[in-house]
Every structure is written in C-alpha cells, then in structure tokens.
Amino acid sequence: MTKPIILGTRGSPLALAQARQAASRLEVAHGWPAGAVEIRIVNTTGDRIQDRPLADIGGKALWTKELDLALLAGETDISVHSMKDVESDRPEQLCLAAMLRRADVRDRLIGAESIGALKPGAVVGTSSPRRAAQLLALRPDLKIEPIRGNVETRLKKLAAGECDAILLAAAGLDRLHHHDIGVALDEILPAPAQGAIGIECRKDDHMIRRIVTLINHPATLATVLAERAFTRALGGTCHSPMAALATMEQDGSIHLRAELLSGNGADRIADETRFGGGDLEAPAAMARAMLARAPSSIRTLFEAAP
C-alpha cells in the first residue's frame, strides 16, 4: 500500500472509538502497520447543533451529510457510521461495503433498576421518539424530557438532577468502556441497526471495496440490511416511533421482529416474519402490511414523513 486509507468520521468520543475499531480491524486484517488507516474528523451539522431534538432540525442526515460530501469529493476513502444514525435512503454513488460484527443491541436504563422501579411521574431524558413511545406504552405516568449531547454530556445531566433516568444504547456505553453503567432492557425492541458499525465507500472505487470487504461480518450485514429495508418501506423519519430487530437463524434464514407506535405510546402494532437471507422484499412487505392495518394515530406519523 503506497498511501494511507483516509477514514472519515464524526468527532464525538463515541464516533472516534468506532472509527478506531474499524481502522484497527483493517490494519490487522491486511497486515498493515498501525497508522496505515488515517482517521480524519469531519464536523457535521448534527454535532454542531446540540440544543434541539434531532427530529426538529433535519433528522439523521445531519450526521451524514458532510461525511458524504467528503467521500464523494475524494477527500476521504471510507466513512465509518453508527448505522442507527444513518438514513435509510443513501446517495446512489455510495455503497455499504462492510459491517463489523454487531454489538449489544439493547438499550440501557440508567438511574433505576427497571422501568417498573421508576418513581411515579419520573422524568426520563431521551430525544428518541421510539424510546419515548416505548416508555410511555409501559408507564404512561412518566414524563419525557428531551436530552441531546454525547454520552458523557447526558450522564452529567443525569448526575446534575436534570432528570431521574436516561436511556442510552448499550453498544455505545460499552465502546466507551462504561460496561458497568445501567440495566439492559430486554423488554424494549431497539432501533433499526442499533449496535452496528458500517463502513461506506464510493461505489466505483473497486480497490477500496475489496480492501474493506475483508472485515465484513456477513450475518450482521444481512440482518441490518433487512432492518433498513423495513424502515425504508415505511418512509420513517426521526419523528416516527418504530423498532426493528433481525436475527440470523442457524439455517441462514432471518427472523425479523418489529413494532410501530403512536407518539404517546397508547397505540402499538407489532409483527414478525421469517425469510431467506438476502430477501429484502419480505421485510418491506411486512412494513407495508403493518402500516396498512395500523390505527390512524400511528399511520399519520409515517404518512406525514417528508
């Protein structure tokens, strides 16, 4: 290799931890020396604006727009993404070349031993419509307080008493070495692609695609693509409370579970299906069928999506 691979990433501590993990995997897989993959921080709109919920200022594209522009301009060779934060429709010139093995997909509750143990009327900090709706479905008495910022910022807000509890992704906490913080919630389905790190490159850059493919985890790629196909069929945005989790069975088939909720959690529709790996029409069909029979309180959230 005559020059370093330029890896574009956001500059948050979690994004950098994920970028270093991807860079290290590439260097080890190819027998390259440390530093052969150069990490370049790209400042995104989502990082600059921290005082409003993501859904109110443009959605998930705010995490990817500047990274996409750098990649398309040839300023970087690959982008590393937390796939939960990547919109389901991507630029035609880019491709998802690899996915690292998926980490813990669950959310963790920090501030109480369980959702049931939260005091009546407890204030829970989250800016995720999915998490808010799921919490309210289980505990309508809870008060949801929007909260933004990186993991450390949110933990500090909790410690300062701005809320009684917060929900954070287990994968992010683990990547920042907060293994002993919070209680994992098995009763809540995660966001589509939660816990997955994806590597994107230019579709016509065949050399980089070959380089990156070596560290791809096929089962993670297949299941995350199924979840993203489900999301894309719904036209869901950050305003749309939805959850989806696909797992690969021993025979290579995929089991997909999903739910759609109203904003206040009062209405919920859930379904599941099994299909062959690589079949992206099956999750899309399930999404359309769920939306067709959903109550108007849910359907209007997706029909109003831009």
Tell me the catalytic residues: 85
Nearest one of 66, 60, 25, 24 to 44, comparing CA atoms:
66
117 Cβ contact list (under 8 Å, min separation 6): none
What interhelical angle do 218-234 and 281-293 show, nearest 10?
A: 40
3-state helix, strand, coil in the chain (%, to 5): 35, 25, 40
Give the SS3 label for residue 4. Answer: coil
C-beta of residue 197 within 8 angstroms of C-beta of residue 21: yes
Cα 201 from Cα 208, distance rounded (Å): 7
Euclidean distance between the first and final Cα of the chain, in Å? 44
Cα 228 from Cα 216, distance rounded (Å): 17
C-beta of residue 227 within 8 angstroms of C-beta of residue 289: no
